[in-house]
Amino acid sequence: MIHPLIKIVEESVKAEKLPDFRVGDTVRVHVRIIEGEKKRVQPYEGVVIARRGKGTGESFTVRRIVNNEGVERVFPVHSPKIAKLEIVRSGHVRRAKLYYLRDRIGKATRVKDKRRAVAAKAETAAAK
CB atoms within 10 A of CB 2: 8
**CB of 83 closer than 8 Å to CB of 29:** no
Rounded to an integer, the average pLDDT of 116-126 is 79
Cα separation, 118 vs 127, whole angstroms? 14
| Sheet containing strand 26-35, strands side by side | 69-76, 59-66, 38-52, 26-35, 82-89
Cα separation, 127 vs 75, whole angstroms? 43
Across the chain, where does the E strand assignment appear?
A: 26-35, 38-52, 59-66, 69-76, 82-89
> Left, alpha or beta for 103 (phi > 0: left; psi -120 to 50: alpha)?
alpha
- Is pLDDT above 80 for 117? no
- Altogether, the residues listed in the chain come to a count of 128
Lowest mean pLDDT among 104-108, 111-115, 119-123: 119-123
Fold designation for 4-127? SH3 type barrels. (2.30.30)
Residue pLDDT, tens place only, 66-89: 998 999 999 999 888 999 999 999
Burial 3-32 (b: 16+ CB within 10 A, else e): eeeeeeeeeeeeeeeeeebbbbbbbebebe
Determine what percent of the chain is predicted with pLDDT higher than 70: 99
When pLDDT is cut at 50, 70 and 90, the band that residue 102 belongs to is very high
Domain coordinates in residue numbering, the chain: 4-127
Residue pLDDT, tens place only, 5-23: 888 887 777 767 788 999 9
